[in-house]
Amino acid sequence: MDRPKIDSAPGLAWRPRANGWVAVWVARPDIVTKGYSPSTQRLRLFTEPPTDDDANYIRSECQRLQDEMLAFGRDGDGMAPAFTGTVQSLIDTYLRDPDSGYHSARYTTRQNYDRALKLLSRDKGERALHALKGRDFKRWYEEWRWPDGKDGVDKVYTAYGQIQIIRVLLSYGVAFEIEDIGPNEISHCMRLKTALHEQTFENGNPRTEELTHKQCADFIRAANDRGDDWMALAQALQFELSLRQKDVIGQWVPVSEPGLSDLTRGGKKWLYGLRWEEIDQNLNLTHQMTKSRKRKILEFDLKLYPMVMAEIAKVPAEKRTGPVILNPKTGQPPAAVAFRFTWRKIATKAGIPPEVKNMDSRAGAITETLEATGDNIEAARRQAGHSNTQTTQRYSRGLQRSNSKVAILRAASRTKTKPEQA
């Protein structure tokens, strides 16, 4: 087989093997000398030319690893450039200031910030704060939304995200007494923050897809047929318990992140996922939620969830220790990208439409809860662990069905004889 070619994959290198090629991500030597690890990361062995799904996976992993490396290089060189009054200098100061919100944000949030700040730096970093006006933000939004013109791809989510990161930067510039930033620059941050506050920007339509109970059952059967019982168990837990993906499979984060873990690999540690130690002898699960700042604790009697019980029964008692979801090929919990990659393959085999994603398991579970309880929003909120019912309502996909019921009832009422007409 010839050496594969995958573009837009920063740091990608290929290593020949007797039966194919290994995709390897390689870190920049200058950042490795500053202490960054890992210097290389094996991604996947290819014995056949990569498919489109394979290429997307490699691109995603390379970009993730590249972003982490660049963030380390930016924070780890110990040199803080003087503030020059530009957008770039505000970005640099925000990233280096240990009191900024960047450093208290969760790992995943910081990854999102890194991507948005990288784009802002590339496109607008040289712009001077004093020369900016409110109308500039409107133009920037449109440039990010339609990079190839309005006949091209509409990147509304990217554009909205860029505006949000600008809001974060300007709020930081106003709220903190930043070293080397004079009163004029702070006043410009306030002026621009006020101008931006008076504008609204479209964020696109929220997701309307849901993973239904039937689709969940079809996925579990397809996973079992492939011998991927671990994927079947993960899907059952997500749907039956209304859990986020990260609360089930966990997350691999840098060892420098807060939190203790007994699993590490390649400079990362595993946190947040379900552990067998959280399930007592009566099959009661007690789990601390990951997304909530208050780290809410949810409790479930697993005996009440048929799909979960059917999959747990396949796990021998002697193997019920440590993380609940383990990839048998590695003996460790899966990374999120690898999990979603495998999920999509199984979902396709199960006949689940491509627009329905694993993330829609939670929406499907909450929608089913509302329908089963007569739209008891409070019951659905408690099941999902939300702080308020407004968040729960955003996950509900039952609005159209509810409107249909109302329409039918209204039409039926018109055929009834009203008292004044009798």
| pLDDT tens by residue, 330-371 | 999 999 999 999 999 999 999 999 999 999 998 888 888 887
363-395 pLDDT tens trace:
888 888 887 777 676 766 766 666 566 656 555
For the chain, the domains span 12-65, 80-197, 213-401
Exposed/middle/buried for residue 352 (C-beta within 10 Å: 0-12, 13-18, 19+):
buried
**How many Å apart are CA 22 and CA 17, to the nearest integer?**
7
Q: What is the largest CA-CA distance in the chain?
A: 91
Reported as a pLDDT band with limits 50, 70 and 90, residue 37 is confident
Among the ranges 24-28, 107-111, 220-224, 254-258, which has the highest mean pLDDT value? 220-224
Sign (positive/negative) of CA torsion 357, 391, 217, 406?
A: negative
Averaged pLDDT of the chain: 85
Write down the pLDDT at residue 380: 65
* pLDDT in the model for residue 384: 60
Domain 213-401 fold is hpI Integrase; Chain A (1.10.443)
Give the model's pLDDT for residue 78.
44
- Chain centroid to CA 316: 32
Q: What is the pTM of this model?
A: 0.68
Alpha carbon distance 145, 257 (integer Å): 33
33-42, 63-72, 93-102: least confidently modelled range: 63-72
Q: What are phi and psi of 245, to 5 degrees?
A: -55, -45
Instruction: Quote the tokens at residue 233.
Output: 């168990």
**Cα distance between residue 218 and residue 209, in whole Å:** 17
What are the residues whose beta carbons fall under 8 Å from the beta carbon of 271, sequence distance 6 or more? 250, 251, 253, 257, 259, 261
Q: Tell me the pLDDT band of 202, cut-offs 50, 70 and 90.
A: very high
pLDDT tens across 204-227, in order?
887 788 899 999 999 999 999 999
